[in-house]
Amino acid sequence: MVIQYETKINETWKPIVRYDCSHVFFHRDIIFPGGDKEKKAIAITDLEIALSYAEQDIKDRWEFYKEKYLKLLKNDK
């Protein structure tokens, strides 16, 4: 399962936040402009609940995630 929020910056789609189970546990990756990631484990084992959680978080907080990314991008320049 993967749920990812991407935004278009300077005509290029950039991943900002990703939820997945690729490391045998449900987690959120915050993706930084340089490509580094901050991984946070989330204690949900039921995939249906995890999917709902990820979808709702991105719907509720996409603006926050985008603003944080853009601020970091600006500071990198």
Q: What is the pLDDT of residues 23-72, one digit of tens each?
A: 889 999 999 999 999 999 999 999 999 999 999 999 999 999 999 999 99
Enter the pTM of the model. 0.88
Q: In whole angstroms, what is the distance from residue 33 CA to residue 42 CA? A: 23
pLDDT value of position 22: 86
Map out the domains of the chain as residue ranges. 2-76
Q: In whole angstroms, what is the distance from residue 52 CA to residue 37 CA? A: 22
pLDDT value of position 77: 60
Q: Under a CB-based contact definition with an 8 Å cutoff, are residues 11 and 27 in contact?
A: no
Q: In whole angstroms, what is the distance from residue 75 CA to residue 34 CA? A: 11
pLDDT value of position 24: 86
Half-sphere exposure (CA, 13 Å, Cβ side) for 17?
A: 22
Q: In whole angstroms, what is the distance from residue 74 CA to residue 26 CA? A: 30
pLDDT value of position 76: 73
